[in-house]
Structure 1
Amino acid sequence: MKRNRLKGVNRKAKRLEEREVFGMGLDQIDVIWDQPVGCTSIFDTGWETNPRPATPMGNCAPSARDFTSCAGPCWWPAQTPDSMTNFYGFQNQCLAIERDWRNLNFAIKIK
């Protein structure tokens, strides 16, 4: 973390500024390098949510669908759909989401 930006004000924030947090130094981090590195560049909450050093590492469980994300300390198992269907024009219902979010419709499969 750059020192010329924000400064941690409590103990937890100051500890996150340290080089080694929860016993995971930079030499211990094993990630897949063909994807963006860092919890903010991918949809992973990261190691800071569950810092257990023992197996299972963090929240990694056999039910996790994306096992390549479990390779390093920065990941989170998430629900994934069984299939994906595009509903054309869905985004046109709500052009200003902060104002019109109540106007969104749901796609329901009719038998």
Structure 2
Amino acid sequence: MSKLNKKIEKFAEEQGVCIMGHYDRDQYSKKHADREVKYYTVTSERGVFLGSIQPNCSYEQFLTRIALKAIYEAERLSELVNEMEEENYYRELCEDTLEEELK
């Protein structure tokens, strides 16, 4: 039986978040019902890693961890978009300059 907080399970179900349990090596020799999860990995439905949590993690800790990872990912994507826009700007500038030189 899962020891994961019921609010976390409900959140994961509503938001399409995947939470997967991982076991210690010594747990694999036990029957499935007797195994204890060492930690859970949390991923988005598109496979973006959102972090790992302990079985006794509170709902508030879970939300904090997910929010921090989401902020980090948003910043990373924003930087990537800015770099792509800057690269596109310089490419267009070079193309315009080349066209003017060829005239």
Pair in the same fold by TM > 0.5: no
Determine which structure has greater relative contact order: mean sequence separation of CA pairs < 8 Å that are 6+ residues apart, divided by chain length: 2
Answer with 1 or 2: which has the greater Rg. Answer: 2
Provide TM-score, normalisation by structure 1. Answer: 0.28
Choose between structure 1 and 2: higher helix proportion. Answer: 2
Provide TM-score, normalisation by structure 2. Answer: 0.29
Choose between structure 1 and 2: higher strand proportion. Answer: 2
